[in-house]
A and B are shown apart, each in its own frame.
Chain A
Amino acid sequence: MLIRPRLTDYHGITLAQEDADFAIPFFDEDIPLYVDPFLMWRSPSQQDIALHGALLTAFNHLGQLALNGHEDEAANALIAASECDEVGLGSSRTRHGKRIGRGKAEELLAIFRRIPHYATHGLSHIEELQFFVEGISKDRISDFACSFLKSFLIDFTIDQCNRLDIPTAPKTVPNVWDPRSRTFVSVAASLPIDPTDDRPLLLVPKRWLRFVPWISYEGYFEKHCPQDDISHEPETLTRVEVLRYNRDNYGVVASYIEARERAFKDAANDPLFSQIPVRSARSKLAQIKKLPTGKVDGADTKYEAAVGQLLPSLLYPNLDFAQLQARTDSGVSIRDLIFYNTQRAPFLQEIYADYGSRQITFEMKNVAAIERIHVDQLNRYMADELGCFGVFVTRNALKKAEAQRTIDLWSGQRKAIVTLTDSDVEQMVEVFDSKQRDPLDVIAKKYAEFRRACP
């Protein structure tokens, strides 16, 4: 079984997140990013702008319904739109969200009555809801956007699956907004499936994702809201007070929105993984080199933490980081870094073809010398999806006997174990800085050296 499976890797499709147009979903947890509708509004693409328009039209329609006495219908629609499990964004570890309650839905609809501008013109960004209703934040905004645009997301998902040959199955998707009937309907479509619970998955364009929406309550509270006017004791200023103030002073919110709209050029989507800066990589390396071997003063934990931060950045985007794993083998605690093999470089294609590595394990060992038992442990671990290729990240080169043991493993079982020492990590950091070579080339070099030693 794969470790922290992703949709693509599960189906044997090797694709780097960097090269994908969408955020590759995990099966067991959400992606910690949110759809920011502002990114559609500021997009140069007419399609995105039109989608933003459709989203606002749908939402404002519900507001009008409520104003015209169809409160029940509007509240039911809002409740249905308040969660979109198929996309799996947010911070949930289970991919199951909770919908808003009736009271919250009515509170949301009440702002159309409370604020005259909304009654006549409607909202111009759904992020504005955050400024008037408590409990509405980036996750709900993202869910509202996904629910009202689900029809587009279904098309986008089908298109991407066809391009990448991701297997799909016919499924019924509930709560798809139909702009003609202006209701939520169920739609039958052929979509990728989460095998853990047989539910359909929807892919979301990477270009729409941010950690925090461009128009956010936190940004407003910090920089824009006249805190002194709301309360003379700023320490006790609560969100509820600010929201109440906002309802009576729509102009303040409107000017914040205008300011954010003017600064639209700075609004960019957030990457799913950001590399650590070169300076930080160098300081991690210096930290590693200073550490003693062994466990004195938690040197092993510090070593694992530093390597754990360094390697995912050095190897990005060629290897996507999956997880830091802790396991125990024969009473020995083992920590390793697992990467998805993206087959992005010829070396990685070779590893995939020769050793069947869909994921690659880097075992970290802060010991003076790798011993026979360590080699045996890694050897036992290399099976199934992890393939027959493993890497030791350790302080010093293998001694002759252990090096011979790795060569014997290759001779007998065609398993390859290469070792990255401090000097190799140093060279990786050097080339990460100078950009003269790819840090992955250093691993390829170690593998070439290993193969030359093999019979």
Chain B
Amino acid sequence: MKRRGDVESLEKLIGQLQGLHSEISLLAKKSPNDGVNSFKLRLINRVVAAANEVLGPDYLPFGDFEAFDADDVPSTSDVALMLAQYMEEAERYRSDNVKFWHGNWVYVVKGEPSDIPSGAPTKVGRK
């Protein structure tokens, strides 16, 4: 990550993705084919747009996906699936940018371990 601000954007994004995903997956379990109303779609699209910007081309789940089209009447399960993909990619991005330093996991900013604490990467031990 280039700036400390990037860490903040990523953490905000992860929080929003998790929040949306838990809400939408509840709806998806109840009625997977139900449509998502335009108000929710607008909010979801804002988070997706933020994710596209924060994650950058290397970490996008699908290169050609930009946002949900309200005309497509995406179902709750469609949205839940897509949000899950974004969450995975956000976690991969985070895991690639943390380091175990002096007994703590911290974010790496400008190639150097910073003083911003982080959680352990989910891929620990694999890389």
Report the stretch among A47-55, A319-327, A428-436 that lies at the interface.
Answer: A428-436
Q: Given the complex, which residues of A lie within 8 Å of B72, measured CB to CB?
A: 445, 448-449
Nearest chain B CB to A433's CB is how many angstroms away? 8
Query: Size of chain A's interface in residues, with CB distance under 8 A?
Result: 15
Taking CB atoms, residues of chain A closer than 8 Å to B55 are: none
**CA–CA, A445 to B40, complex, Å?**
18
Q: Are A423 and B35 in contact, with the CB atoms below 8 A? A: no
Specify which chain B residues have a CB less than 8 angstroms from the CB of A434 in the assembled complex.
31, 34-35
Question: CA–CA, A426 to B71, complex, Å?
Answer: 17
Within 8 A of A (CB), among B85-122: none
Docked CA distance A430–B33 (Å): 7
Whole-angstrom distance from the CB of A310 to the nearest CB of chain B?
15
Give the residues from 21 to 61 in chain B that come closer than 8 angstroms, CB to CB, to chain A: 31, 33-38, 40
B75 at the interface (CB under 8 A from A): yes
Known: A434-B35, A441-B35. A427 touches B75 (CB 8 A): yes
CA distance A426 to B37 in the complex (A): 17
Q: Is the interface of A mostly helix, strand, loop or mixed?
A: helix
**Nearest opposing residue in chain B for A448, CB measure:** B71
- A448 to B70 alpha-carbon distance, docked (Å): 11
Residue A437 at the B interface, CB < 8 A?
Answer: yes
Q: Does A115 contact B (CB under 8 A)?
A: no
In the bound complex, CA of A431 to CA of B71 (Å):
14
Q: Which of chain B's residues have a CB closer than 8 A to the CB of A431?
A: 34-35, 73
Nearest residue (CB) in A for B72 is A445
Residues of B contacting A442 with CB < 8 Å?
35, 73
Contact A430 B34 (CB under 8 A): yes
With A437-B73, A445-B71: A430-B36 Cβ-Cβ less than 8 Å: no
- Inter-subunit contact B36/A436 (CB<8 Å): yes
- Asked whether B35 lies within 8 Å of A430 as measured between CB atoms, the reply is yes
The answer to whether A441 touches B73 (Cβ under 8 A) is yes
Most buried by B among A431, A436, A441: A436
Interface residues of A in 419-455 (CB under 8 A from B): 423, 426-427, 430-431, 433-434, 436-437, 441-442, 444-445, 448-449
Specify the chain A residue showing the minimal Cβ separation from B37.
Answer: A436
Closest to A441 in B: B73
- Which residues of B are found within 8 Å of A427, using beta-carbon distances? 33-35, 73, 75
Min CB distance A379 to B, Å, is 25
Report the bound CA distance from A448 to B68 in whole Å.
Answer: 14
B residues near A449, Cβ cutoff 8 Å = 72
Which single residue of chain B is at the shortest CB-CB distance from A429?
B33
Chain B residues with Cβ below 8 Å from A433 are: 31, 34
B98 to chain A, nearest CB (A): 38
- Given the complex, which residues of A lie within 8 Å of B38, measured CB to CB? 437
Cα of A426 to Cα of B73 in the assembled complex, Å: 13
Shortest Cβ distance from residue B40 to the other chain A in the assembled complex, whole angstroms: 8
Contact B35 A436 (CB under 8 A): yes
Chain B residue with the shortest CB-CB distance to A423: B33
Measured between beta carbons, the chain B residues less than 8 angstroms from A423 are 33
When distances are taken between beta carbons in the complex, the residues of chain A under 8 Å from B33 are: 423, 426-427, 430
Please name all residues of chain B whose beta carbon is closer than 8 Å to the beta carbon of A445 when the two chains form the complex.
Answer: 71-73
- The smallest C-beta distance from A284 to any residue of chain B, in angstroms, reads 16
List A contacts of B31 (CB < 8 A): 430, 433-434
When C-beta atoms are compared, the residue in chain A nearest to B73 turns out to be: A445
Q: A426-B33, A430-B34, A434-B31 are in contact. List 10 more A-B contacts (CB 8 A).
A: A430-B75, A436-B40, A437-B35, A437-B36, A437-B73, A442-B35, A444-B71, A444-B73, A448-B71, A448-B72
| A-B contacts, 19 listed (Cβ < 8 Å) | A427-B75, A430-B31, A430-B34, A430-B75, A434-B31, A434-B34, A434-B35, A436-B34, A436-B35, A436-B40, A437-B36, A437-B37, A442-B35, A442-B73, A444-B71, A445-B72, A445-B73, A448-B71, A449-B72
Q: Which 3 A-B pairs have the closest CB atoms?
A: A437-B35, A436-B37, A430-B34
